[in-house]
Amino acid sequence: MVRLGQIFFAWIMMLIALPMAAVAAPYAALVMDARTGEVLHSENADTRLHPASLTKMMTLYIAFEAVEKGEISLDTNIRVSKNAASEPPSKLGLQAGQRIKLRHCIRAAAIKSANDCATAIGEAISGSEAKFARRMNRTALALGMTRTTFKNAHGLTESGHMSTARDMSILGRHVLYDYPEYYNLFSRRTADAGIREVANTNRRLLAAYKGADGIKTGYTRAAGFNLVSSAQRGNERIIATVFGGRSTATRNARIAELLDLGFRKAPSRARINKPDTPDYGTETGPLIADNGGSNDGKAGKTIRLITAVKTSLRPQMRPMAEPEPVLVAMKDDIKEALQQ
């Protein structure tokens, strides 16, 4: 009995010591020719998973849209709510009641993946995070992201807040082509966020992979290490998305493999077929459903549809990594992971 107890205790201690990254989150991937939208590779691409901070691509997309439509300006001093200031890291360190220019919050959300700034952006545009989430869902449907449901502006784990590798690739392509004047933001290694300078959570891949210029990282325990990346070489541009990486290093290595695959498969020349801009409908045109049953935009009539996904494809779980290499990778990546 003593021997059995010792074995049981050792087993428990091994589980405690084993990094969370060693227990792989569900994996999904998609590779797309950004010029045409053609899918070159997919694996579990339609499985609904936790997007983590990839969510902020939608928050930023709507921010760009709101600026272009004149709803708000980049120089608007937005007021930080107690709700926004209390968001957990990664964050810029906003204080309740302070004011900060929208442009600085956009930079911090895009580059540092600041949760407080993402919430502040949503509240400034829609009045509350709940209303902003409804706008996020309405926009997602208009973009063709049919298996995505947003519950918040930052991507921290919340019940029902789900997306897919395909939908996030679609969103990344829209960010690239719908707002090219803002896209350079995602390739900046650092940026002035008003309060302080912030470093890009994707800086390792940007430095290591030729042609990489974006787009967004994400990490939570439930999601694993996620990334939507884009790279351009000559006339070719590839978007590669990974959900469920084990660490920053292994995720980046996989993204590099997928980008390489994309460049091998994509034709050297292809006519750019830009995605259609969102059609939110008009009183006499198509009706766009809002997952929250409310339309926060100025155009279009909204109807309530039942859009909840009743079933989701089950991903194939990968084998558990050996503890030793995972521990080595985590030593390099744990600091960065906590900032994503």
CATH code: domain of residue 305: 3.40.710.10
- Residue 271 falls inside a structural domain: yes
Number of domains forming the structure of the chain: 1
Average pLDDT of every residue of the chain: 84
Least confident of 27-31, 51-55, 284-288, 313-317: 284-288
Is residue 259 a contact partner of residue 240, using CB atoms and an 8 Å limit? yes
| pTM check: above 0.95 | no
Over residues 101-118, mean pLDDT: 98
Which residue among 53, 163, 230, 247 is the active-site one? 53
Q: How many other C-beta atoms can be found within 10 angstroms of the C-beta atom of residue 196?
A: 11
- The mean pLDDT value for 87-108 works out to 98
- Determine the Cα–Cα distance for residues 286 and 33; give it in Å rounded to an integer: 29
Question: pLDDT class for 307, splitting at 50, 70, 90?
Answer: very low
Asked, for residue 201, whether it belongs to a domain, the answer is yes
pLDDT at 25: 86
158-195: pLDDT as tens digits: 999 999 999 999 999 999 999 999 999 999 999 999 99
Q: Is residue 191 assigned to a domain?
A: yes
Residue 53 falls in the annotated catalytic set? yes
Residue 273 within a domain? yes
Residue range(s) defining the domain that contains residue 205: 24-337
In the set 113, 126, 230, 247, the catalytic residue is 113
pLDDT at residue 3, rounded to an integer = 53
Is residue 81 annotated as a catalytic residue, yes or no? no
Find, among 252, 259, 62, 73, the residue nearest to 171 by Cα. 62
Domain assignment present for residue 117? The answer is yes
pLDDT grade for 285, boundaries at 50, 70 and 90: very low
Catalytic residue check, 159:
no
Provide the pLDDT for residue 279.
Answer: 86
Burial class of residue 319, CB neighbours in 10 A (0-12, 13-18, 19+): exposed
Q: What is the rounded CA–CA span in Å between residue 73 and residue 211?
A: 31
Q: Looking at residues 54-64, what average pLDDT do you find?
A: 98
3-state helix, strand, coil in the chain (%, to 5): 40, 20, 40
- Residue 33 falls inside a structural domain: yes
Q: What is the pLDDT of residue 13?
A: 46
Q: 126: pLDDT confidence band, cut at 50, 70 and 90?
A: very high
Residue at 241 is within a domain = yes
CB-based burial label for 283 (10 Å; 0-12, 13-18, 19+): exposed
The one catalytic residue among 56, 91, 151, 216 = 56
In a domain, 263, yes or no: yes
Virtual CA dihedral for 11, 14, 20, 26, nearest 10 degrees?
-40
> What are the strands, taking DSSP E only, across the chain?
28-33, 39-43, 77-79, 99-101, 190-192, 197-199, 212-220, 224-233, 236-245, 288-289, 302-303
Q: What is the pLDDT of residue 135?
A: 98
* pLDDT, tens digit (0-9, with 9 covering 90-100), for 210-220: 999 999 999 99
